[in-house]
């Protein structure tokens, strides 16, 4: 969940995001925490044809959910 404040009447500035799993709020320019945003629309012919899912999840909840998945990790540092 993205949380905005009105900066001006016509503009909004993203100031924080909220984890849709645990409710943790992370400020947009945080150097210690991160929120990962996912968005996916299922394709034609699937049982979820045209359905779109989107959610925001903190790094702790993300790691907790993927620890049993076989994936390739790239470290850039």
The parts of the chain modelled with pLDDT lower than 70 are 8, 10, 73, 76-77
Q: What is the pLDDT of residue 53?
A: 93
Question: Given this model, what pLDDT does residue 17 score?
Answer: 94
| pLDDT tens profile 55-76 | 999 999 998 888 888 777 677 6
Please compute Rg for the chain using Cα positions.
16
Instruction: Please state the three-class secondary structure of 11-64 as a single string.
Output: CEEEEEEECCCCCCEEECCCCCCCEEEEEEECCCCCCCCCCEEEEEEEHHHHHH
Answer whether 36's CB lies under 8 Å from 57's CB. yes
pLDDT at 54 (0 to 100): 94
Tell me, what's the pLDDT at 65?
85
Domain ranges in the chain? Answer: 2-66
């Amino acid at each position: 969940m993205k949380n905005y404040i009105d900066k001006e009447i016509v503009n909004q500035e993203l100031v924080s995001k909220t984890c849709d799993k645990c409710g943790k709020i992370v400020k947009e320019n945080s150097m210690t925490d991160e929120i990962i945003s996912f968005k996916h629309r299922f394709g034609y012919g699937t049982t979820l044809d045209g359905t779109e899912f989107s959610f925001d999840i903190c790094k702790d909840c993300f790691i907790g959910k993927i620890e049993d998945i076989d994936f390739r990790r790239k470290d850039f540092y």
